[in-house]
Amino acid sequence: MTDKQKAAPVGQLVTASKSFDDSYFNNIESKLSLFLNRLDGVKTNGSNKWLGKCPAHPDRSPSLGIKRADDRILIHCFAGCSVDAVLSAVGLDMADLFPDRVAIPGAPKPKAPRFSAYELFPLLIQEALILALAFHAVTSGDVLADTDMQRAEQAYNAVLRLNSEVKP
């Protein structure tokens, strides 16, 4: 890293490394400002950290922690309010804590999942059972036959692939 790169503001370094323009980072800054402006009693609590009164419950002193972490906004109510309760109290939703998605020119589009979790659940159970039986046999001191070892490996690979095939 050159001295010039070290002296550059963080936003510029990340922008260069992620190939995004400044609008990507301005977007999260504007969302952070929008959220903070809807809170009462906001005080700075360190670099990219704030404390404010939680809008989801009666609050006399700040109990809501807010932190900007890279490209997202983290919030935590120390009184126990959920993130959804805090956001709905100020008229926002979960998407308001993250930057808008930016399409990267030339980037491959993600493959759409082909199955629902409901459709794949029976297969997951079957493959997990095979893995459990193989695990139990091995931990009991038994030696798996080559065909059983191959089937356990197939089950292992199938379970890993299931995650990429599930649509939300």
Instruction: Please give the full DSSP string across 64-75, using - where no structure is assigned.
Output: EEEEEETTEEEE
Q: What is the pLDDT of residues 96-115, one digit of tens each?
A: 887 776 667 777 776 666 66
- What are the tokens at 87? 């956001």
Which pTM value belongs to this model?
A: 0.48
Looking at the structure of the chain, the number of domains it has is: 2
Residues 80 and 20 in one domain: yes
Mean pLDDT for all residues in the chain:
79
For residue 1, tell me if it sits in a domain. Answer: no
Contact indicator for 54, 81 with CB cutoff of 8 Å: yes
pLDDT mean over 9-23: 39
Residues 67 and 126 in one domain: no
Residues 93 and 14 in one domain: yes
pLDDT confidence tier of residue 167, bands split at 50, 70 and 90? low
For residue 160, tell me if it sits in a domain. Answer: yes
Confidence (pLDDT) at 64 = 94
Confidence (pLDDT) at 2 = 40
Domain that holds residue 71: 10-97
Confidence (pLDDT) at 109 = 73
pLDDT at 10 over 80: no
Residues 35 and 74 in one domain: yes
